Amino acid sequence: MNYLYFLYIEFLAKHNIPQIFGDITFYVIPITIIFIALLVVVLLLVLFERKLLGWFTQRKGPNRVGLWGLLQTVADAFKLLCKENITPHGVDKFLFNLAPLIMFTPALVVLSLIPYSSEFTFANFGTNALIYVIFAGFPILSILIGGWSSNNKYSLLGSMRNISQVLAYELPIAFSLLGVITLASSMNLKEITLMQTSSLGIFGCFWVPCFIGFLIMFISTLAELNRCPFDLPEAESELICGYNTEYSGIRFALFYFGEYTLLFANALFLSVLFLGGYLSPFGRYITPLLFQGEFGNILIYFEQAFWLILKSFFIIFIVIWIRAVFPRMAAFDLLKFSWSVLLPVSIFNLFLMVILKFLMGGAYV
């Protein structure tokens, strides 16, 4: 980012604007813009899912609002914002209102930890990956609070299911993450990305040596996001809507939006860990070939972000595909599957990674 910063300060100095102004605006304006852009991507993601589900089931999907239904989710969000906020009798009002906020905030926090391009991460800590896992586990708290305070038995059952589910699936996630961390010798997401640089492109990324870990992480992420086939906490045919049965209006919108933001964030996280993040899948970037000079150097950041989002949408596509095909798992099989299959296998995977690392002599190429 130093390069961009330098250009910007130089530009301001030409017009006699003090540097302090540049220091503030350089970070605030792009971050705001990019955050809004990300939220728009999430809105598109909802549309993407509905369109895909439509195609999977031989329908057209939303196609009335805007071109190809592009504005459908915007209209839906607008509708939810205009709706009455119903607070049922007998709820704990403070907690009832708090739950959607807790759902939404961590979703935004985790988005800021992802390296979108080689020069752009909102919050670049040494232990990025660890912090990500901590914050991505946060929504369980919101679901617990929401389910408990709703004064509804279905909500309660939904949140009960969710807690046992998340507890069971957090451990495999942690262990397969450890596998990647071992390979990369770093807990920083950007360094993990850079460790995957190779001339092989996408085939040089961590999903090749750590394939078991990738699968486990993918499955556990599905469970943590309450996506099909692990959508028990909001199992529509059993618990009506699970923990958010009693929510309406903007509170429901926050839940809904938070869920999809987390889906997007988790897809980004997976692609950073295993699919090489912002690296080009072909081994080299395309923009420097097309545009020489400074313009190409700036454009490369956009290309990197493009690759990252493309990879994450590929993962989301698979998630939606699974939703279209699979029925829901039974509650007990789900827990058994995690404790007796995923956890041992992920520990085994970790050992495998340690051995691999040892054989490679500390460097993964």
Partner 1 sequence: MNEASLLKLNLGPQHPSTHGVLRLILELDGEKILSCKPDVGYLHRGMEKMAEKLSYIQYLPLVDRIDYLAGFFYSELLCRTVENALEIELSERVKIIRTIMLELNRIASHLLWIGAFLMDLGAVSPFFYTFREREIILKYFEKITGQRMMNNYFVFGGVRRDLFDTKDIEEFLSILPSKIKDYEKIIDRNPIFIQRTKNKGILDPETAINGGITGVNLRASGINFDLRKTDYLYKDYDFTPIVLDGKDAYSRYRARVLELSESSKIIKQALEKLKQNTELRQAPVKPIGFKLPEGEYYSQIEAPRGLASCYIKSTREEKPYRLKWRTGSYYSVNLLRKILKGTYLNDAIAIAGSLDIILPEVDK
Sites of contact with partner 1 (CB under 8 A): 53, 56-59, 153-154, 156-157, 160-161, 228-229, 231-232, 235-238, 240, 323-333
- To partner 1, the closest distance from the beta carbon of 223 in angstroms equals 13
Please tell me the distance from the alpha carbon of residue 135 to that of residue 315, in angstroms, as a whole number. Answer: 21
Structure-token match 């599957």, residue found = 337
Q: 142 burial class (0-12, 13-18, 19+ CB within 10 angstroms)?
A: buried
Nearer to partner 1, 236 or 294 (CB): 236
Give me the torsion for CA of 251, 257, 259, 260, rounded to 10°: 170
User: Rounded to whole angstroms, what are the CA distances from 45 to 244, 263, 285?
Assistant: 21, 9, 26
CB-CB contact of 344 with 245 (8 Å) = no
Give dist(CA 201, CA 180) in Å, integer.
18
Q: Which is nearer to partner 1, 219 or 265 (CB)?
A: 219
Tracing tokens 């009002």 back to the chain, one arrives at 93
Least CB distance to partner 1 at residue 73 (A): 19
Residue 120's SS3 state is strand
Q: Bridge partners of 117? A: 120
Nearer to partner 1 by C-beta: 136 or 239? 239
* Nearest distance, CB of residue 239 and partner 1, angstroms: 8
Omega into 139 within 30° of 0, i.e. cis?
Answer: no
* Of residues 50 and 311, the one with the C-beta less far from partner 1: 50
Q: Which is nearer to partner 1, 60 or 284 (CB)?
A: 60
Q: Shortest distance, CB of residue 145 to partner 1, whole angstroms?
A: 19
The C-alpha atoms of residue 337 and residue 165 are separated, in whole angstroms, by 11
- Cα 357 to chain centroid distance, Å, stands at 28
* Least distance between partner 1 and beta carbon 328 (Å): 3
Burial class (CB in 10 A: 0-12, 13-18, 19+), 279: buried
Q: Least distance to partner 1 from the beta carbon of 58, Å?
A: 6
Q: Are 107 and 262 in contact (CB under 8 A)?
A: yes
Nearer CB in complex with partner 1: 81/318 = 318
Q: Of the candidates 323, 327, 326, which has an alpha carbon nearest to the alpha carbon of residue 49?
A: 323
Nearest approach in angstroms of CB 149 to partner 1 is 17
- Alpha-carbon distance of 18 to 100, in angstroms, equals 42
CB-nearer residue toward partner 1: 168 or 331: 331
Query: And the tokens for 235?
Result: 């199992």
User: Which of residues 53 and 75 has its CB atom nearest to partner 1 in the complex?
Assistant: 53
CB of 153 to partner 1, least distance (A): 5
Instruction: Report, in Å, the least distance between residue 332 CB and partner 1.
Output: 7
Joined tokens for residue 83: 């709706």
Closest listed residue to residue 260, CA positions, set 218, 226, 223? 226
With beta carbons less than 8 A apart as the criterion, state whether 73 and 65 touch.
no
Nearer Cβ to partner 1 (143/232): 232
